[in-house]
């Protein structure tokens, strides 16, 4: 088949950042293919950091116009992902050694769902091992898998459990071996989320629980801010999920979603809620003549939350209005059972 010179020129004109986008020559033109179902019924939503954010008209999945080959992805997360954010990696190590109420809440929820206080858990993308530490303190048999060599070694030593280095997709972990599998902010990084979930299904015992947490692309802040939405991260997040697409993927992988809740959203309000700060150690003195960065604003909101959340009734009230009434929820947490 002869391809017109204009089509060839179009390919050559595409920026290098977009050349990794899955493209197929179709007849005399070019079409973009869905990275999940292969459909060519694709609509571009917007451009973020030079990457097209696209939605499939057939399966409704939203994805970024960027992909890794398997070996490139493994090398990227092994050596470059955390190397570019040394401060963040240091915070992860510090958090692994401290009590985390959110992690304790996750452990309690899973323990209730499997109807026993102790079991075996695999944390995928365990980083420095903070969640594993919470499970271990509750008496669980803990295993982890982490692509970063540095963080995997740290988790192995700090938590004192078996941590494999690498990606889940290429691991040789035994099937039907775990009561729970957790993957916090991992699914959006995978090149094939359905294959990832099916692998988790094989690793779990019958009736086992899979905990998945991802950014909520269907949130109010995601819909209004679009390319400026903080959790978008188009350079590393290959897929973007709504509750509808996440539930469908889990169902197709052989799970039954038993609980899905939304949380977070502090970063969504940060730029508008705190545009100026007077004193670094104060959480209530603001001035209108000094602008702070988004990261700085987020820190102040978290400080404010710490004070308000000391009263359980106020905490529940804030969560209800913030997440359910106003829809300001940047993340989703799903508990699904293997069937």
DSSP string, 261-309: EEE--HHHHHHHH-S--S-TT-SS---TT----HHHHHHHHHHHHHHHT
Is pLDDT above 70 for 199?
yes
- The last residue of one of the domains, among 46, 64, 82, is 64
Range of the domain at 82: 70-263+332-338
Average pLDDT, the chain: 76
We report the CATH number of the domain holding residue 165 as: 3.40.50.150
In a shared domain, residues 290 and 149: no
CA–CA distance, 47 with 45 (Å, rounded to integer):
7
In a shared domain, residues 78 and 109: yes
In a shared domain, residues 60 and 134: no
- Mean pLDDT is highest, among 113-117, 219-223, 237-241, for 237-241
Which of left, alpha, beta for 14 (phi over 0: left; psi -120 to 50: alpha)? beta
In a shared domain, residues 15 and 105: no
CA–CA distance, 95 with 77 (Å, rounded to integer):
20
CA–CA distance, 237 with 66 (Å, rounded to integer):
9
CA–CA distance, 125 with 112 (Å, rounded to integer):
23
In a shared domain, residues 55 and 117: no
In a shared domain, residues 281 and 315: yes
Q: What's the pLDDT at 3? A: 38
pTM, full prediction:
0.75
Q: What's the pLDDT at 272? A: 37
In a shared domain, residues 222 and 293: no
The mean pLDDT value for 68-72 works out to 66
CA–CA distance, 48 with 50 (Å, rounded to integer):
5
Which of 58-67, 91-100, 118-127, 151-160 is predicted least confidently? Answer: 91-100
For 331, the enclosing helix (H) or strand (E) is: strand 331-338
* Cα pseudo-dihedral 179, 155, 137, 262, rounded to 10: -60
In a shared domain, residues 44 and 115: no
Is pLDDT above 70 for 98?
no
The answer to whether the beta carbons of residues 222 and 330 sit under 8 Å apart is yes
CB proximity list for 75: less than 8 A, separation 6 or greater: none
In a shared domain, residues 211 and 255: yes
Express each pLDDT in 257-281 by its tens digit: 999 988 875 443 433 333 333 333 3
In a shared domain, residues 90 and 200: yes
The answer to whether the beta carbons of residues 309 and 298 sit under 8 Å apart is no
**Short-list 217, 123, 193, CA closest to 162:** 123
In a shared domain, residues 191 and 251: yes
Q: How many domains does the chain have?
A: 3
Q: What's the pLDDT at 235? A: 85
In a shared domain, residues 213 and 141: yes
The mean pLDDT value for 221-241 works out to 91
Which of left, alpha, beta for 331 (phi over 0: left; psi -120 to 50: alpha)? beta
Q: Specify the pairing of strand 204-215 against strand 178-184.
A: parallel
């Amino acid at each position: 088949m002869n391809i017109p010179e204009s089509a060839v020129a179009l390919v050559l004109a595409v920026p290098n950042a977009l050349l990794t986008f899955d493209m197929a020559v179709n007849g005399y033109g070019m079409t973009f293919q869905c990275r999940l179902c292969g459909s060519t019924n694709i609509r571009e939503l917007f451009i973020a950091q030079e990457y097209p954010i696209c939605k499939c008209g057939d399966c409704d999945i939203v994805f970024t116009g960027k992909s890794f080959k398997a070996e490139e992805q493994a090398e990227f997360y092994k050596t470059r992902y955390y190397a570019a954010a040394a401060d963040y990696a240091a915070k992860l190590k510090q958090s692994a050694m401290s009590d985390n109420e959110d992690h304790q809440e996750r452990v309690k929820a899973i323990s209730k769902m499997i109807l026993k206080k102790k079991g075996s858990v695999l944390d995928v993308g365990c980083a420095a091992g903070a969640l594993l530490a919470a499970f271990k303190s509750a008496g669980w048999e803990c295993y982890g898998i982490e692509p970063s060599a540095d963080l995997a070694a740290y988790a192995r030593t700090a938590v004192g459990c078996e941590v494999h280095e690498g990606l889940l997709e290429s691991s040789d972990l035994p099937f039907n071996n775990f009561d729970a599998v957790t993957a916090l902010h991992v699914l959006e990084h995978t090149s094939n989320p359905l294959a990832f979930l099916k692998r988790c299904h094989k690793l779990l015992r019958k009736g086992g629980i899979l905990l998945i947490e991802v950014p909520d692309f269907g949130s109010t802040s995601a819909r209004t801010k679009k390319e400026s939405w903080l959790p978008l991260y188009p350079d590393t997040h290959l897929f973007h999920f709504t509750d509808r697409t996440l539930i469908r993927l889990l169902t197709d992988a052989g799970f039954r979603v038993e609980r899905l809740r939304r949380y977070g959203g502090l970063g969504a309000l940060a730029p508008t809620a705190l545009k100026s700060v007077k004193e670094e150690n104060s959480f209530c003195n603001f001035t209108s003549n000094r602008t702070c960065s988004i990261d700085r604003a987020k820190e102040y909101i978290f400080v404010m939350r710490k004070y308000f959340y000391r009263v359980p009734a106020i905490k529940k009230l804030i969560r209800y209005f913030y997440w359910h009434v106003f829809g300001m929820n940047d993340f989703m947490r799903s508990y699904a059972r293997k069937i």
